[in-house]
């Protein structure tokens, strides 16, 4: 997945919203390169409660975590965001949405951008 240029300092991650997330299941994106950009912002919305998570990695393959994942609680039908993780150096990242409900969740939104400042 290649980011696309939004302006001179921001790149769209080009994320695709998953169709559904199984009951008590997790959607995890592919490992995406950060291209040396220190800032990331992610937004997601599902029709159930859950957790949004961004994990950064020290390597391009997503094998060596750069600290703990940053998480945000997701309330049913409300957009959750994670913004400005610029204090962690990384080569790549992955994004996860965890469905806490015992029924299938339908995501309505998954967006992300990388930036330099």
pLDDT, tens digit, 9 for 90 and up, residues 80-114:
999 976 777 899 999 999 999 999 999 999 999 99
Q: Which domain does 61 fall in, by range?
A: 4-115
Collect all residues with Cβ–Cβ distance below 8 Å to 36 and sequence separation of at least 6.
none
| Counted domains in the chain | 1
5: helix, strand or coil? strand
Over residues 18-34, the mean pLDDT reads 95
For the four alpha carbons of 55, 40, 82 and 32, in that order, the dihedral sign comes to negative
Tell me the CATH number at 60: 2.60.120.380
66: helix, strand or coil? coil
Task: Return the half-sphere exposure (C-beta side, CA atoms, 13 A cut-off) of residue 117.
Answer: 0
Spatial separation of the C-alpha atoms in residues 90 and 83, rounded to whole Å: 15
């Amino acid at each position: 997945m290649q980011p696309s240029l939004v302006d001179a300092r921001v790149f769209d991650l080009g994320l695709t919203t998953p169709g559904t997330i199984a009951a008590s299941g997790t959607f995890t994106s592919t490992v995406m390169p950060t291209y040396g950009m220190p800032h990331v912002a992610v937004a997601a919305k599902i029709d159930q409660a859950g957790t949004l998570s961004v994990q950064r990695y020290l390597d391009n393959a997503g094998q060596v975590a750069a600290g703990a994942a940053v998480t945000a609680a997701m309330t049913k039908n409300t957009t959750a965001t994670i913004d400005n993780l610029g204090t962690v150096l990384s080569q790549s990242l992955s994004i996860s949405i965890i469905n806490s409900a015992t029924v299938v969740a339908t995501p309505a939104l998954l967006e992300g951008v990388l930036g330099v400042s």
